[in-house]
Structure 1
Amino acid sequence: MIKLSRIVLMFLFVGILVACQPRERVIDYPAFQAKNSASLEISRIVLNDTATVIYADVEQYPGGWARVDAGIYILANGQKYFALKSEGLKLNEKFEMRDTGLLSFKLFFPPLPKGVNSIDVIESRMNLGGWHIWGLNLNPDVEMTAVAIPSDVSARDWKEATTLPPAELKMGKTRVKVHLCGYRDLMDGRDVELFVSDMFNPGKELSKRIDQDHSCTFEFDQYSTTWLYLSNTLFRTMIVLDPGDDVEVYVDLGEATRRASRYQKDRMKAHRLAYVVGESRFVSLNYALQDEYEDGFSMYSFYKDINGMNADEYIAYVMKLYRAEMERLANDKALPDGVRKYRELGVKGFVMRLVCSGESNLETAYREANHIGWDQREIDFKAPEFTDKHFAVLQELDVNRLDMLYARDFPYCFDIVCYRIPSLDRLEKILGSQEGFLIDYFKLQGIYDQLENMKPLTKEQRRNLASIDPYYTKAFEQVKQQIDAKVAESKVKAEKRIREIPSVSEKKLFDAIMARYKGKVVMVDLWATWCGPCRGAIASFEPRKNKFKDKDVVFVYITNESSPESKWLEMVAGIEGEHYRLNRKQWDYICDYFGVDGIPSYVIVDRDGNARLRNNLRGSGMLEQELSGML
Structure 2
Amino acid sequence: MTYQNNKPYNMPSTFLKSLSFFSLAMIIVALMSACSPSGPRTVENPLVNYANTSTIDVVKVELNDSNTVLHVKSHFTPGYWIRIAGDSYLMADGKKYALTATEGIKTDTEFWMPESGEADFKLIFEPLPFDTERFDFIEGEDPKAFKLWNIDVTGKPAAQYPDGLPKELQAEFVDGEVPDVVFGIGKTTVNFHLLPYREEIAPELSMYVNSMDGSQEEYPIKLDEKGNGSVAFEQYGSCRAFVVDTQNGISYADLTLQPGEIVDCYLDARISGSMAMRYRDPRPSTHVSRALHNGAYSNFDRMRTQLRKYHGLQLHTGTFADFHMTTDEYKNMVKSLYLANTDSIQASDAPLMQKEYEQLQLQNDVLEAMADYRYLLGHNYRHVKNNWREAVPDDSIKVNLTDADFAEVLTWFDVVNPKLLIEGQAVGATDWNAYGAAGDLSKSVRMFMKKAGMAKKMKLGKADLDTLNSLSNPFFAQACDSIMQRATRRQLQLQKNGKMSETPNVADDKVFDAIVAPYKGKVVIVDLWNTWCGPCRAALKENEPLKSGELDNEDIVWVYIADESSDPVKYLSMIEEIKGVHHKVNEKQIASIRERFNVDGIPYYIVVDRQGKAEGRPDLRDHAKYVETIKSKL
The residue type paired with residue 428 of structure 1 is N
Q: Which residue, out of 394, 413, 419, partners 1:403?
A: 419
Distance in 1, matches of 2:146 and 2:168, equals 30
Deviation at 1:374, TM superposition (A): 0.9
Q: Is the 8 A contact 2:330 2:399 kept in 1?
A: no
| Match in the other structure for 1:345 | 360
Q: Which residue, out of 589, 594, 597, partners 1:594?
A: 597
Q: Is the 8 A contact 1:444 1:461 kept in 2?
A: no
Quick one: structure 1 residues 303 and 69, their matched pair in 2 at CA, closer, same or farther if it must change by over 3 Å?
closer
Quick one: structure 1 residues 302 and 503, their matched pair in 2 at CA, closer, same or farther if it must change by over 3 Å?
closer
CA offsets per residue over residues 492-530 of structure 1, 9 Å max, x none?
Answer: 22x3432224231x3333333333433432222111110
Q: Is the 8 A contact 2:206 2:243 kept in 1?
A: yes
Quick one: structure 1 residues 529 and 151, their matched pair in 2 at CA, closer, same or farther if it must change by over 3 Å?
closer
Q: Which residue, out of 311, 316, 321, partners 1:296?
A: 311
The residue type paired with residue 353 of structure 1 is E
| Match in the other structure for 1:62 | 78
Q: Is the 8 A contact 2:455 2:481 kept in 1?
A: no
Q: Which residue, out of 502, 508, 511, partners 1:509?
A: 511
Distance in 1, matches of 2:480 and 2:356, equals 30
* Partner SS for 1:598: coil
CA offsets per residue over residues 148-200 of structure 1, 9 Å max, x none?
Answer: 243643774545031223212111221212222234433251x2211112235
| Match in the other structure for 1:384 | 398
Q: Is the 8 A contact 1:26 1:45 kept in 2?
A: yes
Deviation at 1:255, TM superposition (A): 4.3
| Match in the other structure for 2:613 | 610
| Match in the other structure for 1:535 | 537
How large is the Cα RMSD of the aligned pairs? Answer: 2.9
Count of residues in correspondence between the two structures: 589
Quick one: structure 1 residues 91 and 184, their matched pair in 2 at CA, closer, same or farther if it must change by over 3 Å?
farther
| Match in the other structure for 2:238 | 225
* Partner SS for 1:511: helix
Tell me if 1:192 matches 2:205: yes
* Partner SS for 1:444: helix
| Match in the other structure for 2:17 | none
Q: Which residue, out of 169, 178, 181, partners 2:195?
A: 181
Distance in 1, matches of 2:205 and 2:562, equals 27
Q: Where does the alignment leave 5 or more consecutive residues of structure 1 unmatched?
A: 1-22, 419-426
Q: Is the 8 A contact 1:126 1:186 kept in 2?
A: no
Quick one: structure 1 residues 121 and 552, their matched pair in 2 at CA, closer, same or farther if it must change by over 3 Å?
closer
Q: Is the 8 A contact 1:69 1:124 kept in 2?
A: yes
* Partner SS for 1:392: helix
| Match in the other structure for 1:488 | 492
Distance in 2, matches of 1:356 and 1:330, equals 26
Distance in 2, matches of 1:561 and 1:166, equals 37
Distance in 1, matches of 2:307 and 2:86, equals 37
CA offsets per residue over residues 274-324 of structure 1, 9 Å max, x none?
Answer: 45343x432321222232422133639964463232232122212222222
Deviation at 1:87, TM superposition (A): 2.0
Tell me if 1:570 matches 2:573: yes
Tell me if 1:459 matches 2:475: no
Q: Is the 8 A contact 2:209 2:242 kept in 1?
A: yes
| Match in the other structure for 1:7 | none
**TM-score if structure 2 supplies the norm length?**
0.85
Q: Is the 8 A contact 1:497 1:577 kept in 2?
A: no
The residue type paired with residue 480 of structure 1 is M
Distance in 1, matches of 2:293 and 2:460, equals 42
The residue type paired with residue 502 of structure 1 is N
Deviation at 1:377, TM superposition (A): 4.9
Distance in 2, matches of 1:393 and 1:610, equals 61
Q: Which residue, out of 126, 130, 148, partners 1:114?
A: 130
CA offsets per residue over residues 363-413 of structure 1, 9 Å max, x none?
Answer: 33233334x131355779711242334433542342323222201xx23x3
Tell me if 1:585 matches 2:588: yes
Distance in 1, matches of 2:64 and 2:317, equals 50
Distance in 2, matches of 1:554 and 1:393, equals 60
Deviation at 1:39, TM superposition (A): 0.7
Tell me if 1:446 matches 2:450: yes
Distance in 2, matches of 1:612 and 1:391, equals 51
The residue type paired with residue 478 of structure 2 is K
Q: Which residue, out of 328, 337, 356, partners 2:371?
A: 356
Q: Which residue, out of 336, 340, 346, partners 1:324?
A: 340
Quick one: structure 1 residues 397 and 526, their matched pair in 2 at CA, closer, same or farther if it must change by over 3 Å?
farther
| Match in the other structure for 1:518 | 520
Quick one: structure 1 residues 609 and 591, their matched pair in 2 at CA, closer, same or farther if it must change by over 3 Å?
same
Q: Is the 8 A contact 2:78 2:114 kept in 1?
A: yes
Deviation at 1:466, TM superposition (A): 3.6
Tell me if 1:429 matches 2:429: no
Q: Is the 8 A contact 1:197 1:227 kept in 2?
A: yes
The residue type paired with residue 291 of structure 1 is Q
| Match in the other structure for 1:474 | 478
Quick one: structure 1 residues 113 and 159, their matched pair in 2 at CA, closer, same or farther if it must change by over 3 Å?
closer
